[in-house]
Amino acid sequence: MLKKRKVGNRLLTAFLIVVLFSGLAGTIGILLIRTVNEKYHAELQDYGFAQGDIGSLGQAFQAHRATILYIIFSEDPAETAHQKEILNKQIEVINEKMQLVQGKMKTDPEKKLYSELTEKMKSYEAIRSHTIELASTSPREAMTMFRSQAAPLASEIADTINTMLSDKSSTGDLKSAELSRQTSIFIAIMGTIILISIVTSIIIAIAITKGITHPIDELKMVADRMAQGDLKCLLNYRSEDELGHLADSMRTMMGRLSYYMDYISTTTGQMAQGNFDIPYDPEEFKGEFRSVQLSIQNLTDSLNDVMAKITQSSDQVASGAEQVASSAQALSQGATEQASSIEELAATINDISNNINHNAENAKETNQQVSNTASEMEFGRTQMQDLTNAMEDISNASSEIGKVIKTIEDIAFQTNILALNAAVEAARAGEAGKGFAVVADEVRNLANKSQEASKNTTALIEHTLASIETGNHIAKETAKSMDRIVQSSKTAADLAYQISSASKDQAYAVAQVTQGIDQISSVIQTNSATSEESAAASQEMAGQAQMLKLLIGKFQLKI
C-alpha cells in the first residue's frame, strides 16, 4: 500500500505512526506513574505520617507524666504554677495528636485500638486531675495515687500506643512491598509498550527506507554511468511517485543526450575528414543544447569562410613575403654601416670620459689639499688668538706690578720720613742716642735705595707695557689677516669641491652616453641580425604559403 504513495506521504505516514506509538506509550506511562504516585501518597499519609503522629503522641504522653511528677515534688508555688502551664500545653498537644491519629485509623482493628486508647485516656485524665489537686495539699497522697492508679493506667496507654505503632509499621511494610510489586509490573508494562513501539517503528522505517533507497540506488548507478559517458544504459524502475517521475525524466534525458551526442559526433567526424559542406539538422535541440547546435552550425559556416579567406590570403602572403625579404636585405646592409659608425663614436666618447675622470681626480686632490691648508690656517688663527690673550694677561699683570711698586715707593717714602724723625730724636738724646742715630741713618739709606729701585722698576715696567701694547696690536692685526686667509681657503676649498662634483657629474653623464651608445650599437647589430633572419624567414614564409594553399585545397567547402 505504501509503495503506491508518494515519498512525502510515505514519510508523513511513518512519522504519524511513530508519533502515535510514542504518544500511546507516553500516555500509558503517565497514567501508570500517576496511579503509583496516588497510591504512594495515600499509603504515605495513612502509614508513614501516621507512624510519626503515633510516635509524637507517645512522646507527648511521657513528657506530660514527667511534668506531673515535677508538680508533685515541687515546693515552690511559682514553679508549681509554671509547671501547670506547661502541663496544660502538653495536654493540648496530646489532644491534637489524638485527633491526627484518629484520622489515620482506617481499618476496624485500628479503630478498635483507638477507641480503647480513648477510654483509657479519659480514665487517666480523671486520675491526673485528682492527683494534681492533692499535690497542692498533700504531696505524699498525690504521689501514692500517682503510683498506684496513674502509673499502671499510663503503662497500659503506652502499650496501646506501641501496639498501634507496631501495627502501622507492619501494615506500612506490607503496603510498601505491594507498591514495589505494582511498580515493577508497571515498569514491565511500560518497557513492553516501548519495545513494541521501537520494533514497530524500526519495521516501518526499514520498509519505507527500502522503498526509497532501492530506486535511489538504481538512479545513482545510472547517473554514475552517465557521468562516465554511457548514455545507452537501461533504467528499469517505474512508479507513480516522485522517484518514478525522476526515472522517466532521466530516461528522456538519456534519449535526448544520446541523439545530441550522435549528431555532434557525426558532424565533428565529417569536419575531421575535411568536409565542411554539412546540412543543418531538421530537428531543433531543446534548452541549453540549442546553443550547442547553433554553435556547431556557426562553426561550420565560420570555418568555410575562414578557409576561403586563408586561400585568398595565402597568395597575398607569398607575394608579400618576397617583398619583405628584399627590404630586410637592404635593412641589414644599412644596419651594418650604422654599427661601424657607432663603434667609432663610442671610441671617441670613451677618450673624453677618461680625460674627465682624470680632471675629476685632480680636482678631488686639490680640494683635499685646500681643505688641509684651511685646517692648518684655522689652527694658526687659534694659536694667534691664544697669543693675543696671553699678551693681554701679561699687560694686566704688569699693571698690577706697577700698583705694587707704587705701594713700595710710598712705603720707602714713609720709611725715609720715619728715619729722619728718628735721627732728630737721636740728636736730641745726645750720647745716649748715637747708636740709634746710626741705625736711623742706615734705615734712611735703605729707604732711598728702595725708592731708587722702585723708580727704575717702574720705568722698566712702563717700557714693557708699551712693548706689550705694540705686540698686542700686531697680534690682533695678524689674527685678522689669518681670519681672512682662513676664509679665502674655505672659499677655495668650496670651489675645488664644486669643480670635483661637476667633474664627477660630467664623468657620470659621459658614462651614460657611452652606455647609450653601446646599447644603440647592440640594437643596430641586433637589427642587422634580425634583418637577415627576417629575409630568411620571408623566403620560408613564401614556401609555407604555397604549402598552405595546397593543404586548404583538400577541404570540401560550401559554394
Q: Which three cell numbers stand for residue 340?
A: 661601424
Domain segments of the chain as ranges: 7-202, 213-274, 313-554
Closest to 355 measured CA to CA, from 498, 506, 517: 506
pLDDT for the residue 473? 75
Residues 368 and 364: their CA atoms lie apart, in Å, by: 6
**Ranges of residues in the chain whose predicted pLDDT is under 50:** 1
Q: What grid cell was written down for 148? A: 498506684
Q: Which CATH number fits domain 213-274: 1.10.287, 3.90.550, 1.10.3470, 1.10.8?
A: 1.10.8
Cell of 181: 510489586
Residue 502's pLDDT is 73
What is d(CA 360, CA 503) in angstroms, rounded to the nearest whole number? 5
CA distance 423 to 373: 73
234 phi-psi bin (left φ>0, alpha ψ -120 to 50, beta other) = beta
Residue 118: per-residue pLDDT: 92
Closest CA to 98 of 119, 77, 79, 82: 119
If we measure between CA atoms, which residue out of 413, 403, 26, 47 comes closest to residue 193?
Answer: 26
| Cα 338 off chain centre by | 66
Amino acid 459: pLDDT: 77
Domain 7-202: give its CATH code. 1.20.1440.210
CB atoms within 10 A of CB 255: 12
pLDDT at 40 (0 to 100): 61
Nearest to 398 by CA among 467, 473, 476: 467
Residue 278 DSSP SS3 = coil
Residue 295's Cβ-count burial label (10 Å; 0-12, 13-18, 19+) is exposed
* Architecture, CATH, for domain 313-554: Orthogonal Bundle (1.10)
Q: What is the pLDDT of residues 407-417, one digit of tens each?
A: 876 776 777 78
pLDDT of res. 119: 92
**Separation CA 53–CA 104 (nearest Å):** 9
Spatial contact of 539 and 259, defined as CB atoms under 8 Å apart? no
- Residues 335, 528: contact at Cβ < 8 Å? yes
Residues 6+ away with beta carbon under 8 Å from 287: none
Region of 555 please: left (phi>0), alpha (psi -120 to 50) or beta.
beta
At residue 89, the pLDDT reads: 93
Between CA 433 and CA 557 the distance in angstroms is 171
